[in-house]
Structure formats: C-alpha cells, structure tokens
Structure 1
Amino acid sequence: MSRVLEGRVAIVTGAGRGIGREHALELARQGAKVVVNDLGASLDGRGASDAPAHEVVAAIREMGGEAVTNGADVADFEQAAAMVRQAVETFGGLDILVNNAGFVRDRMLVNTTEEEWDAVIRVHLKGHFAPLRHAAAYWRAEAKQGRQRAARVINTSSGAGLQGSMGQTTYSAAKAGIASMTLVAAGELGRYGVTVNAIAPVARTRMTQDAFPEMMADAASGFDEMDPANNSPVVAWLASEEAGDITGRVIEIEGGQICVEEGWRHGPRQDIGRRWEAEEVGKALRDLLASAAEPEQVYGT
C-alpha cells in the first residue's frame, strides 16, 4: 500500500490524546516523521504531564515509524518557535503543521469569567497563531533560498465556531477566529508553496463527551461515527503533496461524511446611492432578510 506522506516531517499539537493522538498515529502510518506535541494538561487546561506524548511516540516507534516528543505550550511564542526548530533540527525540515491543541471551560455567557475567556482564547487562537507564525517564517525563508517546500497546514475549527453552540461563547469565538485565520493565511502563504485548510471534526473526546453525552455515546455495534480516528485520514490527505490545489477551505468531518463548509458570503443587497436615513432602514433590511438564506440554528437551541 502506498503511503501518501512518505518522508515528510510533521508537527501535531495536542497529540497526546483524542483527535490529535489519532492524527499523529495516522500521519506516521502514512510515512511522516512526527513531532508529537502535548502539554499534558487536564481538560480545563490546568497542570502538565509528558506521559501522553511519550505514549504516542512509543506507539509510533512500535509500528516502525519515527517520532519525538515535545512539551511546548503552543500559545507561548518562544516555545512555539523552539518546537519548529526541533522539527527542523531533528528531522531536517518541516512540511506539515497540524494545529489541534485546545481545551474547554464551558459557561453560559453571563457566567463566563474574564480568566476563563482569556485562557480559552489563548490556547485555541494564540495556540494556532504562534506555531503557524514560526512555521510560516521557516517556509518563507526556504522559498527565498530556492528550496520551496510543499508545505501544508491543517487547523482545527469546530461546528461551534461555524454555527455557534449554546454554553460555549468563548470556545465558539475562538474556533470562528481560527476559521478566519485559515482563510487569511491561505491567501498570504500560497506564494511560498503553503496550503492552509481547517477541519471541523466531530468525535468523542474529553471535550465533547460531557457537553453532548447522548450524541457521544459509544456505538453499540458496527461503524462508530464518533471515533476520533475518523477525522485523521482527511488530515493525512490534506497534508500530502497531492493536495496542493486545495487551500483556504474548512471541512467538517462526521463519521463517514465529509462536508465542505460555506462561510460568510455576500447575499442580497440594496444600494440607495446616498446615506440611509434611520427610518428607511427597517423596511429595506427586512426585505433583504426575506430573500436571504436562513442561518443554521445554533447548536443547543
């Protein structure tokens, strides 16, 4: 069987458990050398342990692959830079960045504290930005030296960020930001041979099994639609050289279903040719809304 990532070098953040673990294992099966990043924090982001990352590295080596551990806090700018350097110094380069790390502190909006907001935004949004920023700088330098790589970035958004989710204001805001970051990065980095896409995975993980217990129940038999491993083959292909014509996309994965998300688009419009008067706006806007597509419902409504 051909391996679509033979000889390529990947970083997977948050790869000690759940979806990230499955990504790391699948990328290794497909021939990639993997930097397995995980801080080993609890579900709410507190504490640290190197055990989860070491276990994944051991599993990859047992299957005959190559992997090293990394315990960086991905939202720390300098630690993220060191993680990229580790990949280059250990394996001779970097081709793939899978941004996956994150945690939740779910609250209804009126109960969310400033500390909870800052912590979740930091790990998801800055935790995507910092590794991407340093990887992009490396790829730009490589391109300028005539060594342009077929580089791939796969970010992790969520249905909560695309459609919204009750009780997850902070998480939804962070994941929406990741989707927008993906679009801009794709536009900026294409000149250096870099594609940037995002997935919106659906899976049974520490973050979802308590929030959506009925949806995340174990499959009684047959195909388990909530298995985290369902998402990883899509990530592996997006990380391949073959996927060079796909960028700036957000792809939702649920069981055996792949869905290309269609985000904000210009809809119905009316140009009055001058500044609007406040009393004119109501009728015009209601007419436009009547012909616009209905928004999808927020999860949990």
Structure 2
Amino acid sequence: MRAEPGPGTVAVVTGAARGIGRGIALVLGEAGATVYLTDRESRRRRYSELPGTVEDTAEQVTGRGGNGIAVVVDHTDDEAVAALFRRIADEHGGLDLLVANACDGNALPFTGGPFWTLPLEHWRNMIDVGVRSHLVAAWHAAPLLIERRGLAVLTGYAGDPGTVIGGHVFYDLAMTSISRLAETIAHDLRPHGVTALALSPGFTRTEAILAATGGALPPGTDSVEFCGRAVLALLADGDASRHAGRTIPVADLSTVYGFADTGDDPPM
C-alpha cells in the first residue's frame, strides 16, 4: 500500500509547461510532493506563443509547498527520456507516480472533418509524439514504479461508442490507443503491485483552448487543476487498483472521491 501523498512522494509529470500537465503538477505541489516536470517548452527555447514554460511550472510547484524540478525534455528524444529516469533512479531509487501527459496535439489547427481532408502531419503530432511518448515514459518508469508499488496515469479522452472522438480520425486513433495502452500496461504491472489507468478530462480551460475560443467558453468547463484533484485522490487511495486498466472521466472520480473543482484558473 502506498503512503499518503506528501513530502516523500516522488512524481513525474510529462508535458507540464501548461495545460492539464501544469494543473496536475500544481496540485501535487500543494501536497508537498517532489515533482519532476518535463516539457520541451523552456525559457531558453520557445516553440509556442502560448504562455508557460517548464521552469515557470516548477517554480509554481515549489511556491505551493512542493519541490518542483524542471527538466527540459523533448519526448521524441528517447535518450533524453531515458536520462530523466536514470536521474530519478540515482536520486530516489523509485517512483510513486507517473503522469504521462506529453503530446503535440495543438501543433496544427484542430478542426475535424472527413479523414481524407485532414493533414497527415496530425499522425506525427498525435501518434508518434502523443501515444508513443506515453508508452516510452511508462517503459522507463516501470522498474521505478515497481520499487514503490506506484501509480501510472495516462491522460487521454474517452468517447461514446459509435462516435469519432473530436470528429477527427487522428485524434480518435490517439485517444483510443491511449485507453488500450493503459489497459495493457495495467495488465503487465498488476502482478507487481502497480496500478495503471487512463484519465479522461472534461472540457478544460487550457491555454490552447482559451486562445482558440478567445476565452468565450460555455459554463461548466473545468480548470486545469480539476484533473490534478483526481490524480491526488487516486494516489491517496490504498485501493486504487480497483480502477486499473480503465479510462475514467475526471467527473466520475469527483463523485467517487468527493472532490470538487475550485472553479479558478491558476495564474501563470
């Protein structure tokens, strides 16, 4: 059984410069965790005009009471990912939590449509970067998670049966693949006391969504920290293995565990 989240907790959150990854990291910081945050978006090199860098998030995690450690990683670089987990092995010997979140889904304008009308470059952004980076991170994290009987969370989205998620074939393939990946990873890790699952956020006020909509969002959208509350609840649950292999909406977990969204967006 894992200990309650706190100063002894060691976590990795990939893709944490902004968005849901940042929100998860901030909530873990409030719990006092040591959080290794990865992203290619850094103060030295910017890829997007959106606000936020991995160093910014690390400072905010520390400001909330945790220990934020910024690690600039391009998750298409397997050796850089391997080096991250070698560092964690050297410094801590194990890992309590992996949140595999890095993706490049916003690299091209996200507009659904018939599959033959969509740029093939979406494959690279969503499959080669998104799905593969989830797998590679979990591959390297597995021995460290086994050491501490930890938790692996993959972020993705669940769709209704018979629908194409987002009306976008590449997005649908990526999200469906992440769900299946969580199921197979859970199968392999279960005998070693590690729980793995996929977490499906709702309509979340990420920086990319706010920029795309001009801030004009309908009521009922979620803050980036809502997903973090779900991760923290799972981490604290000594019986989280009952969720293993599932893709679970954050809203469902809020009912199970009794947490609520703050309704506020954390300042950058």
Other structure's SS at 2:12 match: strand
Q: 2:35: which partner in 1?
A: 34
Residue 51 (structure 1) shift: 5.9
The answer to whether 1:71 aligns with 2:68 is: no
Q: Kindly indicate whether structure 1 or structure 2 has the higher relative contact order, using CA contacts under 8 Å at least 6 residues apart.
A: 2
Q: 1:23: which partner in 2?
A: 24
Q: 2:155: which partner in 1?
A: 156
Q: 1:297: which partner in 2?
A: none
The answer to whether 1:178 aligns with 2:178 is: yes
Find the aligned partners of 1:158 and 1:239 in 2 and give their Cα distance. 20
Which of these two proteins has the greater Rg computed from alpha carbons? 1
Residue 229 (structure 1) shift: 1.3
Contact 2:32/2:66 (<8 A) preserved: yes
Contact 2:5/2:33 (<8 A) preserved: yes
For residues 203-228 of structure 1, what are the alpha-carbon distances to aligned partners after superposition, in whole Å with 9 as ceiling and x for unaligned?
A: 122444467x4996165xxxx64212
Residue 26 (structure 1) shift: 0.8
Other structure's SS at 2:152 match: strand
Q: 1:191: which partner in 2?
A: 191
Contact 1:227/1:255 (<8 A) preserved: no
Find the aligned partners of 2:55 and 2:218 in 1 and give their Cα distance. 27
Q: 2:89: which partner in 1?
A: 88
Q: List runs of 5+ in structure 2 lacking aligned partners.
A: 257-268
Residue 138 (structure 1) shift: 3.7
The answer to whether 1:234 aligns with 2:258 is: no
Find the aligned partners of 2:239 and 2:208 in 1 and give their Cα distance. 29
Residue 84 (structure 1) shift: 1.4
- Give, as a single letter, the amino acid of the residue that structure 1 aligns with 2:189: L
1:51 to 1:201, Cα distance in 2 relative to 1, 3 A: closer
For residues 41-97 of structure 1, what are the alpha-carbon distances to aligned partners after superposition, in whole Å with 9 as ceiling and x for unaligned?
A: 8xxxx9279961111111122233212111112233222211212223334431110
Contact 1:154/1:238 (<8 A) preserved: no
The answer to whether 1:248 aligns with 2:251 is: no
Number of aligned residue pairs: 241
- Give, as a single letter, the amino acid of the residue that structure 2 aligns with 1:87: I
What's the Cα RMSD here? 3.0
Find the aligned partners of 2:58 and 2:196 in 1 and give their Cα distance. 26
Find the aligned partners of 1:238 and 1:216 in 2 and give their Cα distance. 32
Other structure's SS at 1:245 match: helix
> Taking every aligned residue pair, what percent have the same amino acid on both sides?
27
- Give, as a single letter, the amino acid of the residue that structure 2 aligns with 1:151: G
Residue 257 (structure 1) shift: 5.3
Q: 1:276: which partner in 2?
A: none
Find the aligned partners of 2:210 and 2:76 in 1 and give their Cα distance. 25
The answer to whether 1:54 aligns with 2:50 is: no
Contact 1:204/1:216 (<8 A) preserved: no
Residue 256 (structure 1) shift: 8.6
From 116, 123, 133, the counterpart of 1:110: 116
Contact 1:197/1:248 (<8 A) preserved: yes
1:30 to 1:243, Cα distance in 2 relative to 1, 3 A: farther
Q: TM-score, normalised by structure 2?
A: 0.78
For residues 151-175 of structure 1, what are the alpha-carbon distances to aligned partners after superposition, in whole Å with 9 as ceiling and x for unaligned?
A: 1000011135975334421111111
Contact 1:9/1:94 (<8 A) preserved: yes
1:128 to 1:118, Cα distance in 2 relative to 1, 3 A: same
